[in-house]
Every structure is written in structure tokens, then in C-alpha cells.
Structure 1
Amino acid sequence: MAKYHFISGLPRSGSTLLAALLLQNPRFHAGMTSPVGSLFRGMLNQLGAGSEFGTVVSKAQRRRLTRGIFESYYADEAEKEVIFDTNRMWTAHMPVLMDQFPDSKVIACVRNVAWIMDSLERRYRANPYEITRLFNDDAERNTVYSRVETLAQANRLVGYPWTALKEAFYGEHASSLLIVDYDLLAQAPEKVMPLVYQFIDEPVFEHDFNQVSYDAPEFDAQLGLHGMHKVRSSVSHEKRTSILPPDLFDKFTTLSFWNNTNQSSANVITVKTPVVDKEASHE
């Protein structure tokens, strides 16, 4: 039976890159966001308090049904020894993951939030003839200020995974959480990947960091934001200047709570920089 681990964290922070690297290992299955999380949440909604079947489905049955979603979805990967399921919602559901898979680990990819907003704004501007699904109406998409503030809301693309990650980071299962900084992964993948293998208790695999390939154009087309999940063939770090107004950049650069582990038992692989370089990020 395959072992399960989970990839989560913030958008535009390297989860697709990490999955593409892990996929090089023939023992592993990994990919971009799967529907397993949504199926799991939808099933619990149907069986929760106040639902038609809430009173007739026991906790043991819910537990078996939940496990069945994973096993059914990944039935075609039976030859793989380790499966990584990717979804930004997993950090908000650590208790159920630890109950279903007590030995599993959650790897959360992070990045300075200002650079996440910069990256998303670049994708938005690169698709000027698309009405992306990231925004509900013209009021939300009007300017860079309304766009960034919308994405930062607690139930939106950046705000939701940020709050979910913070919950896991300070929660009772934080020791099963590994924080991986995108900039460090891109700058020194040969140093980061062995630490990831150590965390999941698997033998180290020799990855080819110059032959990495991943793209999901159909998925990105549905979002109306092309290039969201395209990974360059070579892992690298390239400097650039932020396109965000300075006040927006400064506001969101203060949100990297994972740099302070004083009150958390989470594991962190990150670059701690006292001064934020507005020309130091990359894609």
C-alpha cells in the first residue's frame, strides 16, 4: 500500500516545481492540484450536521468513505510507493490527514507574500484580453490595488491558503509540517531536496535540475490566466524589479510569519533576510 504525503502552501510559491521534481523519482507520484480535497470537503458537507444523511452515517463510516476517496482516485497509481497529493486546503485540515495517515507529512511551499502578489499581477497583465475567474466583477479587477486587496481576503486565492498555513503552523500537528521557501528551492535545489527526503524518511534520489518540465495549459485556460502552472526546464533564480507600487509591496512583505518559529514546532527550510530586496525575486 502506498504512503501518502501532501503538498500545500501558498500560490505562486513553488508547489508545481516541487511536484515536477518529485515526479522524476520513479517511486513517486506527484502533480498539480488534484480534486481529492474538493471531493473530501464535498462529501463531509453532505454528511454533516443538518444534512439529510448526517444522522445515519457513523463516524467510522465517514472515516472509511474519506479514505476511499484517496484510494479510488489513485487506484491507477498502484505501482507507486509514495503518493503526493497537492491542494492548498490541506493545511486547514491537518487533523483529518493525521487521523487518516498518521505517518504522513505536509510540505508547504511559501514565498514572500509581496512577491506572490507581484507574480499574480504579472500573470494578470500578461493576459489583457482575458476576464480571469480570479475576480468576480469590475470593482475587484479595476486597479492593482483592488486586485491585490481582493486576492488577500481570507476566502480568496492568497488569503485563504495564508490563513490555513498559519493555522497549521501554530497547530497541534505542526511537527508534521515542513515549510519550503521558494527562493531557496530555486537557488539551491540540490541542498533543499535532500532535506525534503530526510523529512519524509525516504532515500535520497538524484534529481536532474536542468531537465524539469511541467505545464497545464487547459487548467490555466479555465482560470483565464495562462502560464500559472508552467515550470521552466531548468531550476534557476533570476532577479527582477517588482511591478507593484512601493506601498503595496511594503504592506505585504511583512506577512512571512514562518520566519519566526519561537511558538511553533513546524520544520522550516527558509532564507531569513532582514532587508527585503525589491529586485530579488524570480519566476
Structure 2
Amino acid sequence: MKADLHFISGLPRAGSTLLSAILKQNPRFHASMTGPVGSLVDGMLRTMSMNNETAIFISDAQRRAIIENIFTTFYLDMPKGDVVFDTNRVWCAKLPLLTELFPKAKVICCVRRVPWVLDSIERLVRKNTLQPSGIFNFDTGGTVFSRVDGLAGPGGMVGFAWNALREAFCGEQTSCLLAVTYETLTTKPAEALAAVYDFIGEKPFKHDFNNIEFDAEEFDRRIGTPGLHRVGRSIHANERRSVLPMELIRKYENDSFWLDPARNPYNVKVI
């Protein structure tokens, strides 16, 4: 790739779209919401596996070149010297692959207290009462309990990302990780951005935290969840009461493992 490549991953509803919207103010930076590259990589790895009987004709060197070319082709128009941030929750589960292909790449993990992640999704569902959400396969039934159980399950939107994040924190590639909490990003954005710039080795840039622009209205409309990727013009922390029943809050309140040094054995930096 002509451009430098880094990744944004972590939990959903934890600030990845907001972080991308801020980063893209820098004219050398290219960042957006979750894109297709992660799915393309997963699909190609499966196609080149022994699930395909003709895979015996593909060498590991060819596999590597093909995966590298997914990134190169997708970001073909990025100028030399610019910086690309590719966003996808799958990257935390792909650190061995990423660090082999892109040894200098860093992964910014957006994290947020798990009950508030679940609350944020439930709040979107309740706000869009006339549009069943694609997050739940457009199912019109269910309750907050079944929705949260589905989200937090191993294959759920939150559960998968949480497990991938735990895997990343306990793996052999922790030196490429930086965790940025939603709380810091929304209350001390200058501090959060300074940490990101320092971590990726880029010169500081003066961002305007009161003039942020990002909305994926058409994408969100198609999955029946308007507002999923909408970012407000300015950054502010919302003080509010959770819509989750207290028993669900208690069930997940200890899952924010990045806040506990004992559960961060390799000292991943948390901002």
C-alpha cells in the first residue's frame, strides 16, 4: 500500500464512528464507519481453505499476496504518505494475521462499559418503533431481555466483539493495541486524540471538536436502524438513566475488563 495503514476495532456503540469522524478532519487521514474489507478478508480466507477442494493448488505465499491485495486494491486511490484507518470489529480477532501482513500497523480499540453499550442499542430500537431493526433480523417480537441475550451471546453483535477484544488483550500482539474509552473520548477528546497520534507516531493536528460531520443515513435506513452511525456536530457526554432493567445492568456491569489491571495482564494502554 502507498498509504500507511492502521485499524479501528473494539466494541460497537463505543465511539468508533465518532473517532473516525474526528480523525478525518486531518486532510492526510482517511477514516470511516465499518467497511467491507474485514468481510472480504474473511470470505477469501474461507475460499482459499481446504473447504475448497482446489485449495491444494494455492500456496501460503499466494494466500498472503491475495489478502494483501484486498487492502491494496480497496485503498488504491489513497496517496502515498497518507494514513488509512480501516474500521471493523473483526480486527481484534485477526491480530496474528494483521501483524504478519502489516507489522507497523496499530489497532485502536474503542471500548465502553458494557451495560451502556447494550443500553445504547436498546435505545435505538425503542426510538425507531415503526422500523424493525436489521440488528435483530427485522424480527418484530422479543423483549429487552431476549434482545440483550442475543446481543451478548458468543455470536451476537456485542458478544463477538467483546470476546475478540478479550482475545486481543491476552494474545501475543498486545504491543500494537491502544484502548480508547468512550468516556474519555466524549469528555476529554483532546486527550484521547493526543494519545492516538502519539501511539501511531504522527505529528499532532488541531481538531475542531465542535464541528464534526458524519452520517450514514442511507446505510442505516437500509438496516432499519436510523441513527446507528449518526454523529452529533459537537462532542458532549449525555447524562441519562439507563433503559435497561436493573438485573441486566448488574449482569453485565463487571464485563468492562479493561478497567481492571488484573484482567489486563500485558498492560495494554487504556486512555
TM range (shorter): over 0.9
The C-alpha deviation readout for 1:80-103, integer Å capped at 9, x for no partner, is: 611000000000000110011001
Report the counterpart of residue 129 of structure 1 in structure 2.
Answer: 130
Q: Cα distance 1:61–1:256, how it changes in 2: closer, same or farther (>3 A)?
A: same
d(CA) in 2 for partners of 1:175, 1:141:
44
Match for 2:64: what amino acid? Answer: R
The C-alpha deviation readout for 1:61-98, integer Å capped at 9, x for no partner, is: 01010010001001122356110000000000001100
Match for 1:87: what amino acid? Answer: N
Report the counterpart of residue 226 of structure 2 in structure 1.
Answer: 226
Match for 2:253: what amino acid? Answer: T
TM-aligned CA deviation for residue 221 of structure 1: 1.4
* RMSD between superposed Cα atoms in Å: 1.3
Contact 2:138 2:224 survives alignment (8 Å): no
Structure with more of its chain in helix, by fraction: 2
Contact 1:46 1:52 survives alignment (8 Å): no
TM-aligned CA deviation for residue 152 of structure 1: 0.4
The residue correspondences of 1:42-53 to structure 2 (distance < 5 A) are 42-53=43-54
Q: Does the alignment pair 1:212 with 2:203? A: no
Which sits farther off after the overlay, 73-82 or 172-181?
73-82
Report the counterpart of residue 142 of structure 1 in structure 2.
Answer: 142
Q: Does the alignment pair 1:33 with 2:34? A: yes
Report the counterpart of residue 274 of structure 1 in structure 2.
Answer: none
TM-aligned CA deviation for residue 175 of structure 1: 1.4
d(CA) in 2 for partners of 1:26, 1:136:
37
Report the counterpart of residue 116 of structure 1 in structure 2.
Answer: 117
Report the counterpart of residue 77 of structure 2 in structure 1.
Answer: 76
d(CA) in 2 for partners of 1:113, 1:37:
23
Match for 2:227: what amino acid? Answer: G
The residue correspondences of 1:127-206 to structure 2 (distance < 5 A) are 127-136=128-137, 141-206=141-206
The C-alpha deviation readout for 1:38-64, integer Å capped at 9, x for no partner, is: 001100100002313321110000101
Match for 2:197: what amino acid? Answer: Y
Q: In structure 1, list runs of 5 or more residues that go unmatched.
A: 270-283
Match for 2:169: what amino acid? Answer: F
Report the counterpart of residue 68 of structure 2 in structure 1.
Answer: 67
Match for 2:269: what amino acid? Answer: N
d(CA) in 2 for partners of 1:134, 1:50:
29
Q: Does the alignment pair 1:251 with 2:251? A: yes
Task: Classify the secondary structure of the residue corresponding to 2:89.
Answer: coil
d(CA) in 2 for partners of 1:53, 1:197:
44
Q: Cα distance 1:5–1:108, how it changes in 2: closer, same or farther (>3 A)?
A: same
Contact 1:46 1:53 survives alignment (8 Å): no
d(CA) in 1 for partners of 2:95, 2:141:
33
Report the counterpart of residue 9 of structure 2 in structure 1.
Answer: 8
d(CA) in 2 for partners of 1:156, 1:141:
17
How many residues get paired? 268
TM-score (norm 1): 0.92
The C-alpha deviation readout for 1:239-274, integer Å capped at 9, x for no partner, is: 1111111111111111001112341232211xxxxx
d(CA) in 2 for partners of 1:52, 1:177:
37
Report the counterpart of residue 265 of structure 1 in structure 2.
Answer: 267
d(CA) in 2 for partners of 1:137, 1:75:
35
Report the counterpart of residue 22 of structure 2 in structure 1.
Answer: 21
TM-aligned CA deviation for residue 137 of structure 1: 7.3
d(CA) in 2 for partners of 1:89, 1:141:
28
Structure 1 consecutive aligned stretches of length 4 or more whose deviation exceeds 3 Å: none
